[in-house]
Amino acid sequence: NAGVTQTPKFRILKIGQSMTLQCTQDMNHNYMYWYRQDPGMGLKLIYYSVGAGITDKGEVPNGYNVSRSTTEDFPLRLELAAPSQTSVYFCASSKKDSNQPQHFGDGTRLSIL
Amino acid sequence: QKEVEQNSGPLSVPEGAIASLNCTYSDRGSQSFFWYRQYSGKSPELIMFIYSNGDKEDGRFTAQLNKASQYVSLLIRDSQPSDSATYLCAVNSPGYALNFGKGTSLLVTP
């Protein structure tokens, strides 16, 4: 009963490096989401996907890319990491649209130095 | 930009009391309302959700909607120190997005 699994849990990057945050879910949910959470700022939607092969931008997509080749996986790619991308990143999934509850992974804490 | 507003707190209540958490939303078209609990350093955990057709009670938790005034409330009866956390209100927008408030910090004192 894993739910939404994110890896890694922690990572430190240098400015300009790239990395991929992994997210996989085993609930057969069609919809998946990436959020970032900064202290005191709430959750901001980066990208979301309504099914394999379909992705769309959220509120704060700049500096990030996503892909959705399977129902289970929704990786988030950071190109040319910047200090402003220091944050906690959460992946979530839901059965269908925003009328359904979203279930969150444990998060990835990312620091860019 | 659809707004969801919450008082950041901290809201302090004594153990055994009722904690009342509120959030207001701006989109009159919203139909689904969610409450998440987030402990420090952890991910949001779904507590309850309601739709625009009614309130819901689940154990010590009650979620209520006032559509006319556009606010949602979460009542926690018999509050326990383990309820101390940040509570996030989320409201749907047409399509696929949830709009989250910044959260209210709740402190239950023994």
Residue A77 CA neighbour count, 13 Å, CB half: 5
Pairwise CB contact (< 8 Å): B44 & A43: yes
Pairwise CB contact (< 8 Å): A104 & B44: yes
Collapsing DSSP to helix, strand or coil, A83 comes out as helix
Pairwise CB contact (< 8 Å): B44 & A58: no
The angle formed by the CA atoms of residues B30, B35 and B40, to the nearest 5 degrees, is 135
Pairwise CB contact (< 8 Å): A98 & B93: yes
Task: Report pLDDT for B62.
Answer: 97
Q: How far apart are the C-alpha atoms of B34 and B46, rounded to whole Å?
A: 7
pLDDT beyond 80 at B2: no
Burial class (CB in 10 A: 0-12, 13-18, 19+), A31: buried
With bands split at pLDDT 50, 70 and 90, how would you rate the model's confidence at A2?
Answer: confident
State whether residue A108 sits within 8 Å of chain B by CB: no
- Give A52-60's long-range contacts (Cβ < 8 A, gap of 24+): A56/B96, A58/A33, A58/A34, A58/B97, A59/B1, A60/A36
Pairwise CB contact (< 8 Å): A42 & B100: yes
Where do we find the tokens 């154990």? B59
Q: Which of A27, A44, A98, A100 best tests the B interface by mutation, with the highest count of B CBs <10 A? A: A98
Pairwise CB contact (< 8 Å): A99 & B92: yes
Which residues of chain B lie closer than 8 angstroms to A40, CB-CB?
A: 8, 102
Residue A93 dihedral angles phi and psi, to the nearest 5°: -145, 155
Residue A70 near residue A52 (C-beta atoms within 8 A): yes
User: In angstroms, what CA-CA distances link A26 with A93, A105, A108, B62?
Assistant: 10, 12, 18, 30
Task: Report pLDDT for B25.
Answer: 94
Burial class (CB in 10 A: 0-12, 13-18, 19+), A3: middle
Q: How far is A33 from chain B (nearest CA, A)?
A: 9
The per-residue pLDDT for range B41-90, each reduced to its tens digit, is 999 999 999 998 889 999 999 999 999 999 999 999 999 999 999 999 99
The per-residue pLDDT for range A38-96, each reduced to its tens digit, is 987 889 999 999 999 999 999 999 999 999 999 999 999 999 999 999 999 999 999 98
Strands B104-109 and B11-14: parallel
User: In angstroms, what CA-CA distances link B1 with A59, A100, A106, B95, B100?
Assistant: 9, 21, 27, 14, 12
From B94, which residue of chain A is nearest by alpha-carbon distance? A98
